[in-house]
Each structure stands twice: as structure tokens, then as C-alpha cells.
């Protein structure tokens, strides 16, 4: 799935990474390797290596290969690859819009949006899902029938911290176990990744956007989803958590009629493009 920036320019992806993922998911030998790679214990072992000092040698080549500008980030000496991957942005670099009814992106990502049908079905590219299977609860799923699903796909070059989109009261975190497929759209054409992957969610009873379901989805070689808070009051723009190494996804489910999404984001998804967004950037507006 190609991307577009907010000016309508096409943004190229990582062609080398796409080729590797295609081999893993679209060839018989690749799928045999994939069975091993998607097991949680492999991700955990990879995570231990990426926490080690040996992994620090990969940081500078990765920055250069992916052309990552380090100017917005706090200056640090990275002691491991995960230390770099969970790097922090400088204060003020990802500020949320001042107007409370503006819906802002919770993270740096590639965004696509999907209507949730009246019976809870939605389609991401060629794969059909249901809200029931996403959250493993028919009762909870019904709150979002007829609403919108916002899928924020983070790639390895993104800032992997995510924030609350509004003031409100948050529930506890609910964990759903699973395997760890890549969240690249190539994999989504073959496996229902968002209902097979390990994930965690909570509900935000928000001031401006209703009951927002916030979900984090782990992915290939993501050893950890780190959420900072259990049940309690939270503030707009406050950091909710972060991912350790790998591509991953943040999902927001919004109730019917709660928001008006920006037209370019809707149009891009309909035309087969993800929209490149940054944390705190306006993506819509509250209807109520």
C-alpha cells in the first residue's frame, strides 16, 4: 500500500523490506520460515538481543539507510538498538492542536480509515474482519457498529511512542494473546493479521469524542507493547505508551457519528493510499 503526505505527494516505502516480506509471505519456503518467526518466543529472544550492547552497532547504519533525521530527538548515546528505537522526541516537537474538538493523530504513522458496517464488519484491503473478532467481545463490539476504524501503521523509521487523543477516563488494559505477523499490507492480503496478532486495548471515555476504543497491535519482531497506565484519568497529548523494535499498529475505533475525518485521508484510503501523519497532527473534528 503506497503512502501520500498531506500535500498529496506520493511517498515511497522501503523497497528492500517489501521484497523480504514478499518472499516470506508469498513463497512456500518463506512461509515455513514464517511459522518460526511469528512465534512469541522468537520475538522475545530477538528483543533480548536488541536490548544488549552488541546491538548498538546497528544504530548508525539503520539511521543512514532509512534517512532518519535525528534533529527532533533528544541527544543521547544509545547503549542498545532498543534504546535508539524507543528514543524520545524533544519537548514541543509533537504538540497537539490547541482546540479541544480537533481530533489529532496519536502517533507518527501511515493512516488508513475504514467504515464499520452496521453489523460490525469492515474490510482492510482484501481481508474482511469483524469488530467481534478484533476485541473478542460481542457486547463491546456493538458500541462501534456503524462507526469508523482508524488504522495507524507504524514502520521501523517512525517514532514509536503514542499518546491519548483526549482528556477522559480510561479503563484498565485488556490483553489478547496471539502470534506476531508483520503489519505490512502484503501480510494482510494473506492472513487476518489484526485478529491473529497479540494486542492490547482499553476504552477512553473521552470529553469530546465519545467512547474511544484504543488498541495497540504487536508485529513481527516486536517483543513488547508498553502501556504506562491502568484505569484512571488521563490528559490529551499525554504519552500512553510505546512499542519496542519492529513495525506495529495503533487502532482507534470511534462510535457512529462522532467525528468528521479530513477529506484527504478518506480519499487517500479509497484510492488505495495510506496518509502519512505525525503525532498531534489534525486528522478530523468532533461532530458533537
Supply the residues annotated as catalytic.
108, 248
Q: Measure the CA–CA gap between 269 and 229, rounded to whole angstroms.
A: 32
Q: Please tell me what DSSP assigns to residue 287.
A: -
Neighbours of 71 (CB within 10 A): 8
Q: Measure the CA–CA gap between 158 and 156, rounded to whole angstroms.
A: 6
Q: Please tell me what DSSP assigns to residue 41.
A: H
Locate 82 and state its grid cell. 532498543
Under 8 Å between Cβ of 109 and 250: yes
189 φψ region: left (φ > 0), alpha (ψ -120 to 50), beta (else): alpha
Contacts (Cβ under 8 Å, ≥6 apart) of 202: 170, 171, 172, 173, 174, 213, 214, 227
Q: How far is CA 105 from the centre of its chain?
A: 11
Contacts (Cβ under 8 Å, ≥6 apart) of 38: 179, 180, 181, 220
Is 108 exposed, middle or buried (CB count within 10 Å of its CB: 0-12, 13-18, 19+)?
A: buried
Amino acid at each position: 500500500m503506497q503512502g501520500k503526505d498531506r500535500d498529496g505527494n506520493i511517498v515511497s516505502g522501503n523497497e528492500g523490506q517489501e521484497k523480504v516480506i514478499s518472499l516470506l509471505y508469498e513463497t512456500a519456503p518463506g512461509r515455513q520460515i514464517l511459522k518460526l518467526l511469528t512465534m512469541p518466543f522468537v520475538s522475545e529472544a530477538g528483543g533480548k538481543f536488541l536490548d544488549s550492547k552488541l546491538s548498538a552497532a546497528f544504530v548508525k547504519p539503520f539511521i543512514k539507510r532509512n534517512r532518519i533525521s535525528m534533529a527532533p530527538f533528544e541527544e543521547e548515546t544509545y547503549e542498545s538498538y532498543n534504546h535508539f528505537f524507543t528514543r524520545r522526541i524533544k519537548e514541543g516537537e509533537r504538540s497537539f492542536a490547541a482546540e479541544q474538538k480537533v481530533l489529532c493523530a496519536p502517533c507518527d504513522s501511515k493512516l488508513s480509515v475504514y467504515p464499520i458496517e452496521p453489523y460490525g464488519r469492515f474490510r482492510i484491503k482484501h481481508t474482511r474482519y469483524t469488530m467481534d473478532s478484533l476485541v473478542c467481545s460481542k457486547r463491546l463490539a456493538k458500541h462501534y457498529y456503524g462507526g469508523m476504524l482508524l488504522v495507524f501503521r507504524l514502520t521501523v523509521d517512525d517514532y514509536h511512542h503514542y499518546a491519548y487523543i483526549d482528556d477522559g477516563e480510561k479503563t484498565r488494559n485488556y490483553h489478547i494473546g496471539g502470534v506476531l505477523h508483520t503489519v505490512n499490507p502484503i501480510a494482510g492480503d494473506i492472513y487476518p493479521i489484526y485478529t491473529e496478532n497479540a494486542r492490547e486495548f482499553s476504552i477512553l471515555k473521552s470529553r469530546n469524542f465519545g467512547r474511544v476504543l484504543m488498541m495497540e497491535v504487536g508485529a513481527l519482531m516486536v517483543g513488547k507493547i508498553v502501556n504506562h497506565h491502568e484505569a484512571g484519568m488521563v490528559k490529551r497529548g499525554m504519552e500512553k505508551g510505546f512499542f519496542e523494535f519492529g513495525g506495529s499498529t495503533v487502532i482507534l475505533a470511534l462510535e457512529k457519528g462522532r467525528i468528521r475525518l479530513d477529506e484527504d485521508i478518506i480519499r487517500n484510503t479509497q484510492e488505495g493510499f495510506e496518509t502519512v501523519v505525525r503525532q498531534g497532527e489534525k486528522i478530523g473534528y468532533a461532530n458533537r
